[in-house]
Structure 1
Amino acid sequence: MSFAEVLGKIDAFLWGVPLMVLLVGAGIILSVRTGFVQSRHFGYIMKNTMGKMFEKNEIEEGAISPFQALSTALAATVGTGNIVGVSVAILGGGPGAVFWMWVAAFFGMCTKFSEVNLSVAYRVKTEDGYAGGPMYYLDRGLKKPWLGKCFAFLAGVACFGIGCSVQSNAIAGTLKSSFNVPPMITAVVITIAASVVIIGGIQSISKVTEKLVPFMAAFYIVGGLIIIISNAHMLPFAIRAIFVGAFNPSAVGGGVIGYTIMLAMRNGVSRGVFTNEAGLGSSPIAHATASTDHPTRQGMWGVTEVFLDTFVVCTITALVIITSGVLDEGITDASALVATAFDMHLAIGRYIVSLGLLLFAFSTILGWEYYGETSARYLLGRKISKPYKLLYVIMIFVGCVMNLDLAWTVANILNALMAIPNLIGLIGLSGVVVALEKDFFSDDRKRTSPAEYEHLLK
């Protein structure tokens, strides 16, 4: 057995039942402990996040706005998984996989809520602004600095793969297949464009993502809705296929015969977790930089992040695929499946998918650079920032012009391993999450200082 095959088996094992049980299990535990905050306060959360996302509020020096933090997190979270990942889930588990993707996202909303809460609660003020994330709450909250170092190392290295080279590789592949652009030209353009943004740090990244994320999401969602509306007569079948397929796949009929409940569950949960990253500990690093008066106020944006990523964007992709009838065409390639589904009912459908993949991947490159740099700074100090940025930019270029099959596998493994120390921290500090949540919702007045909740962290 070759080294690549061994890594492939490790990757398949980690992203199979073990990680599925750990991540969803943690989400269930946190949901029970917080009294299902994601549903109990859902209306309030939506009103005070999406309802106020464009409000201009006073921002602390060195920090960014809550919406900019959300945009940066979504830039890294909403990626190729929202298009290709959903296709993979449906191809592997049938339409029923979408139901289990929703289940994972429901509990994932509470997991992300908890991650963001803790990241803000235990963040530190540096010369460049706030820094936070799992490494800080593992260190300062759980008092396990070695676990914080483990997470930071895994995240710092994983960023070069999952957030960088494999994303630029996806961009180069998309531009070559759809517009016949040579990978070398893509490499030069993408590297320069990313460098200009990355060099300015979180302030620069957040200013770009707050404009890019709403545009790319709206562009993709509107295109998807046009197709879904044009296939409105197929919506009842699609909804039935999702719910019936989750528990009795053979009863759906058509091109989905042969799936099992376990296949639907495993594919839906694993791809759902992969796309919204709840429990992996990545996006809370961006949320920790927000200007906010209470950890739970920013934690609500974590709920919104998962909702938008999975319940909106992923669901659009799923409904386009199922209502289009493309599942009966015998297509086995995930990228081709969603591209064909868009193309069947919209003249520019294939280009919507291509441009969506391009924008999603580019935004992921920006968001993950900050995650990796913050992790590296936690381990080695401020001096590592410039060398890290330089190496990251080099890997963007490399990703465009090289075959990265092995890099995908290694990145997936590191991404999965990041979840282990993070989940230990989440469960170990779940009492703090509950205390913060109760403190905030008992009196959500305007706070003026962290001193008003710091006693809850001891």
Structure 2
Amino acid sequence: MEQKDIIEEKHEGSTVVEIISWFETWVANVSNFLWTYVLAILLIGAGIFLTIRLRFFQFRFFGHALSQTIGQIFKKDKHEGTITPFQAFTSALASTAGATNIVGVPVAIALGGPGALFWMWMVALIGMATKYSEIMLGVKYREKNKNGTWVGGPQYYIKKALGWDKVAAAFAFFLMIEAIPSLMVQSNSITTQVEGAFGWSTQITGLIMCGLVAIVVFGGIKRIGKVTDKMVPFMVITYLIGAFIVIFAHIGELPNVFGMIFTHAFTPISAAGGFAGAGIAQALRWGIARGLYSNEAGLGTAPITHAAAQTNHPSRQALWGIFSVFVDTIVICTVSGLAVLVTGTWMEVSADNASNMIGTAFGTVMGETFGGSFIAIFLFFFVITTVGVLIFFGEKQAEYLFGLKGSKFMRIIYIAAIYVGAIGGLQFVWQFLDLLLAFVLLCNIIPLVFLHKEIRAMTDDYINRIYRKKEGKPSIQLFSDQSDKDISQ
């Protein structure tokens, strides 16, 4: 080959690399802009709007929500539906509880300081109204497919309630595609953890994951529900016990830690140790972003599983949305945050290695080796249930767009994506995750706001016909706007 040809070939190769690099940077910049400004404002604004329209329902009826959710888990429900209300809850929780709560919280603290935890709580409190609303609509507009299984989600209520067929199809398409990079990232996060803790190759872990997930997802939502209602509570409780052991071992630090959380939510914090320091904007940005990402309120995924639940009223099932945000963010995220704060690992571990903070924190009590292994094992099982539910989400979108055959085809694609992600392949695709999530969220949150009258009318109906009747209280008009039509009649 002549020197000229070699130079031209190198030039062409470098040009391709530059184009790819430029495109990756562009995708990252667009994603950051959307999540930092547009989506944060939309989600928080929608949450506040729905909270006010529902007269702070999630706070006033929080005790009732607990009694009708966790207080009813052993009760047999004979109402229409495919799975029990608790199975629907654990299936939805499986898609959010895990890596985001365990690894994502330390990342938020590393980049936004202790004050980020405060803003995470604020997002959760208003997110309860959002999640309640979308689950309620998902159950109200559900329908049976050709297999006799109840299906529902944003694509159904967007089409049926608003007649926005193209927006409904866009939601289904973006979520169907988004599941691919999401599965890749989830599987890669655990294979690298397992490799670091036990020395297993990513290929072996990837194959094990594919096999376990296939066994679960080929059984449909009934098998997914049976797996999650046993695994998720056990994993959550065991992780919380481990985290509380760490926190109580450093209980003398708690007053100072809570002081930092509340103080630095509104004032900057200077650099210390491996922590680079953070301003108010960073605490706000990372607290909001991780809070929204951890509980998925407004994303529209929870209604997909809850639509299959056995229930006698949409609002009754939607109470699980309030409880799930509480468990996911107020409980799990809080103990994760407190564990890294009381142990001081947030100042010892650099932001680049923030995902290792929780393992390091556990290591201060359990020993470095056991602490890392403990987190790796639990992340593995969390991810198994998470990817199983993510595949179900994607399948339901394919079913909506292309029928049952399309659903089965995408199931194969998703299982293959788990292995490709496990070995670190096609990382370019991962760059699209946040961007696709942004499109999914936009397709759901805007219709949700437009349907606020239905949401509050159905809530009014539930309070009068079920809640107040059960309590032996006379019916009331919860909302003052007499022009709203009672859509439940």
TM-score w.r.t. the length of structure 1 is 0.94
Indicate the residue corresponding to 2:100 in structure 1.
81
Aligned AA (1:223): G
The answer to whether the Cα contact below 8 Å between 1:94 and 1:245 also exists between their aligned partners in 2 is yes
| Uncovered stretches (5+) of structure 1, i.e. residues with no partner | 448-453
| Uncovered stretches (5+) of structure 2, i.e. residues with no partner | 1-20, 471-484
Indicate the residue corresponding to 1:189 in structure 2.
208
Among 293, 299, 316, the alignment partner of 2:335 is 316
Instruction: Give a deviation string over 1:99-145, Cα, whole Å, max 9, x none.
Output: 00000011101000000011001111223311111101100011111
Among 358, 361, 364, the alignment partner of 2:383 is 361
The answer to whether the Cα contact below 8 Å between 1:11 and 1:409 also exists between their aligned partners in 2 is no
In 1, distance between residues paired with 2:73 and 2:273?
A: 43
CA shift, 1:396, in A, is 1.3
In 1, distance between residues paired with 2:266 and 2:274?
A: 17
Indicate the residue corresponding to 2:453 in structure 1.
431
Alignment of structure 1 residues 150-169 onto 2, 5 Å: 150-162=170-182, 164-169=183-188
Among 240, 243, 259, the alignment partner of 2:278 is 259
Indicate the residue corresponding to 1:415 in structure 2.
437
Among 90, 99, 116, the alignment partner of 1:97 is 116
Instruction: Give a deviation string over 1:275-314, Cα, whole Å, max 9, x none.
Output: 1100111111111110111000011001111111000110
In 1, distance between residues paired with 2:429 and 2:233?
A: 30
The answer to whether the Cα contact below 8 Å between 2:420 and 2:426 also exists between their aligned partners in 1 is no
Instruction: Give a deviation string over 1:51-87, Cα, whole Å, max 9, x none.
Output: 2223232254x61000000010001111311112101
In 2, distance between residues paired with 1:194 and 1:309?
A: 23
Indicate the residue corresponding to 1:395 in structure 2.
417
The answer to whether the Cα contact below 8 Å between 2:399 and 2:407 also exists between their aligned partners in 1 is yes
The answer to whether the Cα contact below 8 Å between 1:249 and 1:257 also exists between their aligned partners in 2 is no
Q: Secondary structure at the match of 2:432?
A: helix
In 2, distance between residues paired with 1:330 and 1:154?
A: 36
CA shift, 1:341, in A, is 1.3
The answer to whether the Cα contact below 8 Å between 1:166 and 1:408 also exists between their aligned partners in 2 is yes
Aligned AA (1:427): V
Indicate the residue corresponding to 2:33 in structure 1.
13
Identity of aligned residues (%): 39
Larger Cα-atom Rg: 2
- The answer to which of 313-322 and 392-401 deviates more is 392-401
CA shift, 1:253, in A, is 7.8
In 2, distance between residues paired with 1:119 and 1:65?
A: 16
Indicate the residue corresponding to 1:55 in structure 2.
75
The answer to whether the Cα contact below 8 Å between 2:116 and 2:265 also exists between their aligned partners in 1 is yes
The answer to whether the Cα contact below 8 Å between 1:138 and 1:148 also exists between their aligned partners in 2 is yes
In 2, distance between residues paired with 1:121 and 1:438?
A: 14
CA shift, 1:254, in A, is 7.8
Instruction: Give a deviation string over 1:143-178, Cα, whole Å, max 9, x none.
Output: 11111001000000001121x221111121111111
The answer to whether the Cα contact below 8 Å between 1:156 and 1:373 also exists between their aligned partners in 2 is yes
Count of aligned residue pairs for this structure pair: 450
Q: Secondary structure at the match of 2:144?
A: strand
The answer to whether the Cα contact below 8 Å between 2:270 and 2:278 also exists between their aligned partners in 1 is no
CA shift, 1:188, in A, is 1.4
Indicate the residue corresponding to 1:4 in structure 2.
24
CA shift, 1:408, in A, is 2.6
In 1, distance between residues paired with 2:293 and 2:426?
A: 19
The answer to whether the Cα contact below 8 Å between 1:108 and 1:278 also exists between their aligned partners in 2 is yes
Among 245, 266, 291, the alignment partner of 2:264 is 245
Indicate the residue corresponding to 1:370 in structure 2.
392
Matched, 1:337 2:319: no
Q: Secondary structure at the match of 2:487?
A: helix
In 1, distance between residues paired with 2:354 and 2:427?
A: 16
Indicate the residue corresponding to 2:65 in structure 1.
45
In 1, distance between residues paired with 2:411 and 2:269?
A: 51
The answer to whether the Cα contact below 8 Å between 1:73 and 1:287 also exists between their aligned partners in 2 is yes
